Amino acid sequence: MKTMFTTVAVFATALSAFGQEKPKDSLEGKEIALDEVLVSAVRVTRQSPVTFSNLTKEQIKPRNLGQDIPILLNFLPAVVTTSDAGAGVGYTGIRVRGSDGTRVNVTINGIPYNDSESHGSFWVNMPDFASSTESLQLQRGVGTSTNGSGAFGASLNLLTDVVSNEAYGQISSSIGSFGTLRNNLKFSTGLLNDHVEIAGRLSRITSDGYIDRASSDLNSYFLQGSYVDGNTLIKALLFGGHEITYQAWNGIDAATLESDRTFNSAGIFTDDNGNTQFYDNEVDNYKQNHFQLHWNERISDDWSSNLALHYTKGRGFFEQYKEDDDFSTYGIQPIFIDGEEVDKTDLIRRRWLVNDFYGTTFSLNYDRDNFNLILGGGWNKYEGAHFGEIIWARFSNNRDYEDRYYDDSSTKTDLNLFAKANYKFNAQWSAYGDLQYRTIGYEANGEDTGLVDDTFNFFNPKLGVTYDLNMNNNFYLSYARANREPNRNDYESGSPKPEKLNDYELGWRYISPDVQINTNVYFMGYKDQLVLTGELNDVGAPLRANVGDSYRLGLEVDATIALGHQFKIRPNVALSRNRNKDFVFQRDGELQELGDTHISFSPDIIVGNVLTYQPEENLQVSLLTKFVGEQYMGNIDSEGSKLDSYSQTDFNVQYGINTNSFIKSIVISGLINNIFDTLNVSNGYFYTFDDDYSVPDTVTTIEGAGYYPQSGINFLLGATISF
């Protein structure tokens, strides 16, 4: 009998590690369930026919030393991460199943985070946000209906810190390569009078970056007030950040990659003596502040609800030194100096973005016996102002300081309603259904976009079945339909079409006390997919184009395997085939049929593993490895657009010291990234243009590529003191 109870206990522990149980480190019982209502409308469990991975605060903590959230997700299945500055601080990005960050739908407590116009998630605006994250779930594929822009590669939803029963204070500091320094202060009052908690965090991160001058000066804050009363939880959150980041989005060509891989051309100019100089304020300077108000209510044993209001204010610019730029770009008339016409000038410009994003999300949950129903939706509005200013010019024809040389505006409204249901027929079979209606209105008047006044109406059905063979084996099959509107940059290329996706997922999950395995195959068939062309616009943003028919077919396997009581391995592999069908491209002045070509930035193989050794409770040592296969940066299978495969191995250690004094604990963490000092390139760009001048009556297509090198071996060392 004792053995049986021990087995059951170990199995429960394994299930928790698998990411299905509710956290146990804060308020017990109803309050913790109410905290989870913030994300219950967008998250799934193993009873849902959806492919997903979970990460908890405890799993994030050993490597949380100042790098951005995408870098912390690097070792999840089918994930590729990038860093402009080369070391994980500053601008970072993530791709899942080959889909870039604009296709990864991000929500924070169920509130959309992706920028409404670009669809991107700019983590640099929320530095050190992992320190206020309780847990996160990454759903691969279409996933479930959620708020914000449609998911075409993955959904990432974050739950911020849950209510703490006990008061605490915490100071964290870390130092590292390239002058990296992070300091943060966290606190909680605990529950005052059993009802009210106030918690917060202040953070600052600075780094010189691996790439020349790719410095970051990042500040952020997080403040949360909570009220708990029986079946009610009300949370008010204020959080945000201010980033000043020296631009590093130009990349380098192949020759420079070999000779000077940290070179950064941003800000380059030639002074009056003919010497090469770099403008010292070629920076991106942006502030973003978020407000969220959540009211979670357990109405009865069967019913619970969440109502949220949110508002985000963003304001900032990037500054550039432009050498010999044309007057006509800025509406300046030529001038005459000593009898000679002057129509070019050196100048410094700022391109501004000021935006407001506000709205509401809501959900109503019914959960009784074998039936679970969620009704929800959201209404959100975005208002953006885009304008440019000249703050200095060598010749200006009496142009006033900060005159706007362009002044555009845009608005976007987004309404979505969804119903999700899961019905368990018996001990083995359950069915899942999810219906979403989404309508979007977008207006813009930019010189790059032209006049835009588009309305999109989408219906996104999802359905699936789950079969529990026994308490160890679980199978699922699902179909999901997704539609998605173009983003702002897509309009630069003409009249983009909305893209459509049919996603089929077949999976098997195995859980035992020592082994947990997730295996799934998927087929994602696209119509008019907006794939990355490989090109960048004049502000470093990737450009996309509709490609007709395309698909992604893949196999993903990840596991957690206990090797005795001290060792654990977490391997994963993602094999995929990503193709444009019957691709046509204009080369050398003629349309050429290229057949099926690789989809850009979509490696056929991604492998990861985490080996953890824990000889005692307070000591944990991990070896983390990642391999990413070769990938094309364009869609024409040009050898000049190929990124070589690469691998990286990191070493991570965490040691805790518990005390019986005013200081409750000291946790020391160390991270050595890329211990084998490999010279990796995880991102780049590819472009073509027609040269019809060199040889009369001929057109020759010229190709070129740029690269973003990543750092060799580097380290971070930190300590956290808890009171």
Q: What is the pLDDT of residue 693?
A: 58
The CA distance from 355 to 114, in Å, is 13
Q: Which amino acid is at 717?
A: L
The helix (H) or strand (E) run that includes residue 447 is none
SS3 441: strand
Which residues have CB under 8 Å from 538's CB, separation 6+?
none
Q: What is the pLDDT of residue 604?
A: 97
Start-to-end C-alpha separation, the chain: 42
> 101 and 93 in contact (C-beta within 8 Å)?
yes
DSSP label of 88 = S
Q: Which domain holds residue 616?
A: 2-722
Q: Which pLDDT band holds residue 700 (cuts at 50, 70, 90)?
A: confident
Structure tokens belonging to residue 272: 């009056």
Q: 47 or 518: which carries more pLDDT confidence?
A: 518
Amino acid letter, residue 251: G
- Report how far apart, in Å, the C-alpha atoms of 642 and of each of 172, 208, 630 are: 41, 29, 7
pLDDT class of 403 with cuts at 50, 70, 90: confident
The domain that contains 67 carries what CATH number? Answer: 2.40.170.20
With a CB cutoff of 8 Å and minimum separation 6, the contacts of 275 are none
Burial of residue 370, with CB atoms counted within 10 A of its CB: 0-12 exposed, 13-18 middle, 19 or more buried? exposed
Q: Per-residue pLDDT tens for 651-670? A: 999 999 988 788 999 999 99
- Number of domains present in the structure of the chain: 1
Contacts of 28 (CB under 8 A, 6+ apart): none
Of 645, 555, 641, the residue nearest 599 (C-alpha): 641
State how far the Cα of 438 lies from the Cα of 42, in Å rounded to an integer: 16
The span from the CA of 551 to the CA of 574, in Å, is 16
561-586 pLDDT tens trace: 999 999 999 999 999 999 999 999 88
For the segment 325-336, the average pLDDT, to the nearest whole number, is: 89
Round to whole Å and give the CA distance between 484 and 100: 14
Strands 216-229 and 631-632: unpaired
CB burial of residue 95 (10 Å; 0-12, 13-18, 19+): buried
With CA atoms as reference, report the closest residue to 456 among 398, 416, 403, 507. Answer: 416
| pTM across the whole model | 0.92
- Residue pLDDT, tens place only, 678-694: 999 999 999 988 775 55
The mean per-residue pLDDT over the stretch 501-511 comes to 96
Here the tokens at position 508 are 């098997």
